[in-house]
Structure 1
Amino acid sequence: MTTTHDDQLGTVAQIMKDTRIAVLTYVAPGGSLVSTPMGMQDFEHPGTIWFITERDTDKVHAIEADPRVNVSFSSKSGWVSLTGTAHVDEDRAKLKELWDASAGIFMSGGPEDASNVLLAVDGATAEFWESPGKVSTAIQLAKGLVSDAEPDLGDNATVTL
Structure 2
Amino acid sequence: MSNEQPTREEGIKTLASIIKDVKFAMLTVTTAEGHLKAHPMTTQQTEFDGDIWFIGGKDTEQVQCMGERPQVNVSYSDPGKNNYVSVGGTAQLVEDRAKLEELWSDFYKAYFPQGIDDPNVQLIKIEAQGAEYWEGSGRMKALFQMARAAVTGKPATDMGNNDTVKL
With normalisation by structure 1, the TM-score equals 0.90
| Helix, strand or coil at the partner of 2:18 | helix
The one-character-per-residue Cα deviations of 1:30-70 (angstroms, maximum 9, x if unpaired) are: 01100110001144534201000110110011111111100
Counterpart of 2:154 in structure 1 is 149
Change (3 A) 1:147 1:105: farther
Residue 117 of structure 2 is matched in structure 1 by 112
8 A contact 2:87–2:128 mirrored in 1 = yes
For structure 2, list consecutive stretches of 5 or more residues without a partner in the other structure: none
On the 8 A contact 1:18/1:77 being kept in 2, the answer is no
Matched, 1:122 2:127: yes
Identity of aligned residues (%): 37
Q: Supply the RMSD in Å over aligned alpha carbons.
A: 2.0
Q: 2:100 aligns with which of 95, 101, 106?
A: 95
Residue 47 of structure 1, aligned match among 50, 56, 60: 50
**1:77/1:13 CA distance change after superposition, 3 Å:** farther
Shift of 1:138: 1.0
Residues 86-108 of structure 1: per-residue CA shift (max 9 Å, x gap): 12111112111111122222322
Structure 1 segments (4+ residues) deviating >4 Å? 1-4
* Mean CA deviation greater in 36-45 or 109-118: 36-45
Equivalenced residues, count = 161
